[in-house]
Amino acid sequence: MDAVLLARVQFAFTVGFHFLFPAMTLGTSLTILISESLYLIKKDEIYRKITDFLARLLGLIFVIGVATGITMEFSFGMNWSGYSRVVGDIFGPILAAEAIIAFFLEAVFIGVLIFARNKVSPKVYWLSALLVFIGSHLSAFWILAANSWMQTPAGFQIDGTGKIILSSFRQAVFNPSTMIRLFHTTMASWMTCAIMIAGIAGYYVSKGLHGETAKKMLKMGIILFAITPLLQLSTGHIHAIQVIDAQPEKAAALEGLFETTKGAPLYLAGYVDAEKEKTYGVYIPRLLSFLYNFDLDSEIKGLKEFPKEHWPPVNIVFQAYHVMVGVGMLAIFLGLLGLILLVRNKLFEATTYLFILPFLIPLPHIAHEAGWVAAEVGRQPWIIYKLMKTADAASVVVPANQIFFSLIMFTIVYSLIFAMFVLVFVRIMKKGL
Amino acid sequence: MENIQNFQVLWFILIAILFLGYALLDGFDLGIGALLPFIGKNKEEKDILINSIGPVWDGNEVWLVAGAGALFAAFPQAYATAFSGFYLGMLLIVFALIFRAVSMEFRAHDERRAWFWEKILFAGSCLAPLLLGITLGNVIYGVPLDDRMEFTGSLLTLLRPVPFLFGIVGLSAIVLQGASYAILKTEGELHLRAIKAMHILLMINMLTAGLYFVMLACISPSLLSSPLFYMAILLALLGLGELVFSLSKESSANLLGKSSLYFLGLWLVTVTAHFPNLIKAADTPYLSITIYNSSTGLYTLQVMSVIALVGMPIVVGYTVFAYRIFKGKAKAQRY
């Protein structure tokens, strides 16, 4: 088999697996900060119990995030040495900055959060929660800056040998898509945790477990569950406009748009046949153009504007994007439903809703994995948009059979870790608050 | 040109410091993992040992992440060559670190299979330093490189006896570091067993360290004319001597500092022998990857210097703060 394809599959698998955990970490660090702040203000033991429970969960989540994150840092060198040789000037410092400025902070104070509840004063404990929140979000910032630079490269020059030379660190880090992708990803993480907390607390309340504590936690979860998908809708909207402007091929693939169109439609669901250059499905006429700049007739570029060899695999990108949007819409509906039940004081008796809640826990993960597939497959065939092809980025010295072997090993090891994660997660959940 | 060379040398030193920090800090927690089956005789003792590193191992491991990131940022050609060239070795290091990390968490929640996770913790904790040592041995002893800076050897190249010895030397020193930490954090019988382990490890390390200095002097004879070489020997001897003295006085004051001093000696001779190489080309020295032919541009090195020289003191500051929270003997209860 093709070594580049194998390396891509391995990277997709390992980073897709890794991302499950940071996505939970960011949101959990937020909710810990919220409940610990409430504890400090209201001096109510209930919030302390919620924090302690979340810290136990965070311990599990963070460990797997760290462990699988090492793989990512190593794989740029192991599988993508061609890429690493060319982008060391820019990608290297961003990764190093992540470790020095963010990851240390997060890792050191997570130790305090998990192990030092009874060793430090409430104020120091709260400070640790704040620092973990800051550290984990800074970490997301740097990683997304690196990833965004591959989508919308900036702040560089190309020297005579084809090497990319950093010319402005600020421009490279704050490239045109960094901030919006940071907001969009952060909100996805907050939503992931909101639904996780609502799901766990919903289970407790429906079983009549942990009394007031579970109810407070459910309330917290539902409020976040109602807010975050709505905020995500707006970050998603702004991000989509940014992609239409900066990466029109990707934007066209997201909507399966082949012809440049004034008054382009928005598909709700469908199927793209890239061979026949046709998209089938249910759509709302002119909505894409309207959403782009609130003009029903604005022009959106179609794929045919670009050479076919620069098209991403259109149907994959289209499907992934629509799964993400679909789940997002469902989340908005379910979150608002929960809020209505809460406001009307019917939430704790809404047996069907509470029964469904725990089963929603995987839902946001599906959305962010799909969104990430849309973003990264949508970037193909480029590893760095319009600068370097993915095919030129792989390690030349690593033969296909070794990557095949490592891919099998990762599959086995990660399956084991995932099974254990679910088992321990359920165990922590059953043990209760 | 003069200017960029200063930064290249600075980054050689900074990366050496980051990896030293990794070896000293993650060293003691890996060492605890490696000592676990030897000094922890029952569940409670094993709980104490694992809890002694529970709050700090993750922060310690970030030193490796920072070191590797710094290598990528400062010398991407060396990073790319080593990580792709030593593919299967690197893969094993990744798995060793993954398993050692998750095993502690899984053990705490999965009592029925605790024995299994303890074995995994032990294996991961031994393999990681051994393999990292072998990797270092290879880049110092030399590996076959072509004129595009690509590695042309195989897995067997990596496992030659000389680089393997580097791994043994590293592992011995790391486990010694673990023994120092174990003595500091334990009481009673467990404490006595840790002291006993330290006695044995001291003998092993006298042997491996002696061998190491001779071996390095053979690999790069120019060492013999460098004052740093003799300083390194002095540091290592001082560290080991202080440890012996402490044991005979039955004092456990500052043990970790003393074994760190010993490791510092080993590290100093290592980087002195290696400078300015990053990956030595066996038989064809002119193809070696050095700090001068593999670095990023001046501007990147300058930006990185600001980040590291401002950032790292802050990191060290709050790390010390966190360590002080956990000072004193470790307990069997987790929270």
> Which residue, B136, B94, B118, is CA-closest to B37?
B118
Confidence band of B2 (pLDDT split at 50, 70, 90): low
Instruction: Assess whether the previous peptide bond of A285 is cis (omega < 30° from 0).
Output: no
pLDDT tens for B155-185 read: 899 999 999 999 999 999 999 999 999 999 9
Ramachandran bin of A262, using left for φ above 0, alpha for ψ from -120 to 50, beta for the remaining angles: beta
Residue A1 is predicted with a pLDDT of 67
Which residue type, as a one-letter code, is found at position A411? T
pLDDT confidence of residue A421: 96
- Which residues, at least 6 apart from A391, have a Cβ–Cβ distance to it below 8 Å? A4, A381
d(CA B149, CA A39): 57
Name every residue whose Cβ is closer than 8 Å to that of residue A265 and which is 6 or more positions away in sequence: A255, A283, A284, A285, A286, A287, A288
Q: What SS3 state is found at A170? A: helix
Query: B300: nearest CA in chain A?
Result: A89
**Option in B55, B84, B93 nearest A81 (CB):** B84
Question: Which value, in Å, is the radius of gyration of the alpha carbons in chain A?
Answer: 23
The structure's pTM equals: 0.94
- Longest CA–CA span in chain B (Å) reads 62
Measuring CA to CA, which residue among B13, B54, B18 is closest to residue A100?
B18
Residue among A63, A79, A169 minimizing CB distance to B101: A63
pLDDT of residue A303: 87
Per DSSP, what are the bridge partners of residue B143? B281
pLDDT (tens digit, 9 = 90+) per residue, B80-92? Answer: 999 999 999 999 9
E strand or H helix at A158, and its extent?
A: strand A156-158
CB contact under 8 A, A69 and B65: yes
CA geometry: angle at B112 spanning B109 and B113, to 5°? Answer: 85
Determine the Cα–Cα distance for residues B202 and B213; give it in Å rounded to an integer: 16
Using a CB-CB distance cutoff of 8 angstroms, which residues of chain B are in contact with residue A95? 69, 72-73
Closest CA to B157 of B85, B227, B263, B240: B85
Contact of B80 with B74, CB cutoff 8 Å = no
The alpha carbon of residue B221 and the mean position of all alpha carbons in its chain are separated, in whole angstroms, by 24
Probe site for chain A from B29, B47, B64, B94 (most A CB atoms < 10 A):
B94
Q: How high is the ipTM of this complex?
A: 0.92
Q: Is the dihedral of CA A382, A384, A387, A393 positive or negative?
A: negative
User: What is the torsional sign of CA B7, B13, B14, B16?
Assistant: positive
Our measurement of the distance from residue A196's CA atom to the centroid of its chain's CA atoms, rounded to an integer in Å, reads 15
* Terminal-to-terminal C-alpha distance of chain A: 50
CA distances from A199 to A20, A215, A298 (A): 17, 12, 42
pLDDT in tens, A172-215: 999 999 999 999 999 999 999 999 999 999 999 999 888 899 99
- pLDDT given at position B335: 60
Residue A270 parent element (H or E): strand A266-273
Among B167, B50, B43, B165, CA closest to B100: B50
Residue of A nearest to B91 (CA): A406
Which of B55, B84, B109 lies at the smallest CB-CB distance from A428? B109
Sorted by where each begins, the domain ranges of chain B are 2-325
Neighbours of B148 (CB within 10 A): 12
Residue written as token pair 């990264």: A376
Distance CA B30, CA B171 (A): 9
pLDDT at B253 exceeding the cut of 80: no
Quote the pLDDT of residue A257. 86
Question: What are the b/e assignments for A217-226, b being 16+ CB within 10 Å?
Answer: bbbbbbbbbb
With residue B50 as reference, give the H or E element that holds it: helix B43-53
Q: Is the peptide bond before A153 cis (omega within 30 degrees of 0)?
A: no
Whether A63 sits inside 8 A of B70 (CB atoms) is no
Helix (H) or strand (E) holding B219: helix B188-219
Sole residue written with tokens 């990794």: B22
Check: CB of residue B261 under 8 Å from CB of residue B238.
Answer: yes
Tokens of A182: 């940071």
In angstroms, the separation between the Cα of residue B249 and the nearest Cα of chain A is 32
Give the model's pLDDT for residue A330: 96
- The answer to whether the Cβ–Cβ distance between A67 and B68 falls below 8 Å is no
* Residue A195 identity: I
Q: Which stretches in chain A have pLDDT values below 50? A: none
Taking the C-alpha atoms of residue B54 and residue B49, their distance in angstroms, rounded to an integer, is 9
Res. B137: pLDDT tops 60:
yes
- Cα of B330 vs its chain's centroid, Å: 24
Residue A354: the pLDDT is 94
Alpha carbon B98 to its chain centroid, in Å, reads 17
Q: Do A423 and B110 touch (CB under 8 A)?
A: yes
- How far apart CA B132 and CA B136 sit, in angstroms, is 6
Q: What letter does residue A161 receive in the DSSP assignment?
A: T
- Nearest Cα to Cα of residue A253 among A305, A188, A299: A305
Q: Residue B200's CB: how many other CB atoms inside 10 A?
A: 13
Residues near A95 by beta carbon (within 8 Å), at least 6 away in sequence: A73, A76, A142, A146, B69, B72, B73
Residues B200 and B182: beta-carbon distance below 8 Å: no
How would you classify the pairing of strands A278-284 and A164-166?
A: unpaired
pLDDT given for residue A275 in this prediction: 84
pLDDT of residue B3: 87
Residue of A nearest to B109 (CA): A424
Burial tier of A179 (Cβ tally within 10 Å: 0-12, 13-18, 19+): middle
Three-state SS at B56: coil
Tokens encoding A369: 């994995």
- Are the beta carbons of A205 and A348 closer than 8 angstroms? yes
Q: How many angstroms from the chain centroid is the CA of residue B41?
A: 27
For A299, phi then psi, to 5°, come to -90, 130
**DSSP assignment string, A54-76:** HHHHHHHHHHHHHHHHHHHHHHH
C-alpha B237/C-alpha B252 separation (Å) is 18
Residues on chain B touching A77 (C-beta within 8 angstroms): 68, 72, 79-80, 82-84, 90
The residue ranges of every structural domain in chain A are 3-431
Residue with tokens 């993915």: A390
Chain A: give the shortest CA distance to residue B269, in Å: 26
Residues 6+ apart with CB under 8 A from B13: none
Q: Which of B68, B75, B150 sits opposite A396 (nearest CB)?
A: B150
SS3 A280: strand
Rounded to an integer, what is the distance from CA A341 to the centroid of its chain?
29
Structure tokens, A136: 């984990």
> Residue B143: helix, strand or coil by DSSP?
strand
Using DSSP bridges, classify how beta strands B289-290 and B277-279 pair: parallel, antiparallel or unpaired. antiparallel
Give the mean pLDDT of B38-59: 93
CB contact under 8 A, B84 and A424: no
B94–A88 C-beta distance less than 8 A: no
